[in-house]
């Protein structure tokens, strides 16, 4: 099973840049989308269905904001919209699909870059998400958490760790949350295959030609539960694909 995660920074804008054509060519089994920035009725779902995709969405109440989706060539056995916490579900941040014993989550973690209030919201999201994840792992041991976490884990994951030491997305408390997740519960699938590969990023600022100079951040992840690790076959970052300020990331399961 080939699974893709992609923050498209607006699915309608990404479609105009060739997203759907690329999906038609690559035909990933499951596609987790983040930051769709659209209500379901605003999405060209007919074209996706013509490709063979079953489409599921969790949009934010606020129009043009946040939102996640899951596309799959096989119909899911079950789809769970949201995480049961209204403050986050209003923002369309979590969507789960079950395929047999495998559960795949498309998640869009809050950003704290706009100021203290949103940083506090982000930290509360992280605090609330962990026990929710732990409980879900007990119910669904084969779990893949895919999406934009808005956190760089280690200095190797960001182009300028010194200059960004006080930046949201690379704060010690955010990185400590990922430390705990990857130590106790889940595995960073890209680092599982490439523990020391540097200059591998999934997001670049639109400013100052950051992408052309590869001045980026790795903030998008496929996190696999420990029960899922034996099924890992390959992981990849695809920086050459440019429909967004992010790039897609993929993982292959046996």
Residue numbers of the domain that contains 116: 2-253
Query: Average per-residue pLDDT in the chain?
Result: 98
pLDDT of res. 208: 86
Strand partners, 102: 99, 142
Reply yes or no on whether 148 is catalytic. Answer: yes
pLDDT band at 252 (very low <50, low <70, confident <90, very high): very high
Strands (E), 54-162: 54-58, 68-72, 78-81, 94-99, 102-108, 142-148
pLDDT band at 79 (very low <50, low <70, confident <90, very high): very high
Q: What is the DSSP letter of 160?
A: -
Q: What is the DSSP letter of 147?
A: E
pTM of the model: 0.98
Given the residues 29, 89, 135, 148, select the one marked as catalytic. 148
Contact 220, 244 (CB under 8 A): no
pLDDT of res. 203: 98
pLDDT band at 215 (very low <50, low <70, confident <90, very high): very high
The structural domain count of the chain equals: 1
CATH number at residue 233: 3.60.10.10
């Amino acid at each position: 099973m080939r699974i893709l995660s992609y923050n498209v920074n607006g699915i309608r804008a990404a479609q105009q840049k060739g997203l759907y054509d690329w999906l038609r060519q690559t035909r990933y089994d499951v596609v987790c989308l983040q930051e769709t920035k659209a209500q379901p009725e605003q999405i060209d779902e007919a074209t996706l269905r013509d490709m063979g995709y079953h489409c599921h969405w969790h949009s934010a109440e606020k129009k043009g904001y946040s939102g996640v989706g899951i596309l799959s060539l096989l119909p899911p056995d079950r789809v769970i919209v949201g995480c049961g916490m209204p403050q986050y579900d209003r923002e369309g941040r979590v969507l789960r699909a079950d395929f047999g014993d495998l559960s795949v989550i498309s998640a869009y973690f809050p950003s704290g870059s706009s100021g203290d209030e949103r940083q506090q919201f982000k930290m509360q999201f992280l605090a609330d998400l962990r026990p929710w994840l732990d409980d879900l792992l007990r119910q669904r041991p084969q779990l893949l958490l895919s999406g934009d976490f808005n956190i760089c884990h280690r200095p190797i994951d960001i182009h300028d760790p010194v200059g960004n030491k006080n930046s949201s997305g690379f704060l010690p408390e955010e990185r400590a949350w990922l430390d705990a997740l990857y130590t106790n519960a889940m595995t960073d699938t890209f680092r599982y295959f490439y523990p020391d590969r540097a200059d591998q990023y999934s997001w670049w600022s639109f400013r100052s030609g950051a992408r052309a100079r590869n001045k980026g951040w790795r903030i998008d992840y496929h996190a696999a539960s420990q029960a899922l690790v034996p099924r890992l076959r390959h992981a990849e970052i695809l920086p050459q694909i440019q429909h967004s300020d992010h790039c897609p990331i993929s993982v292959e399961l046996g």
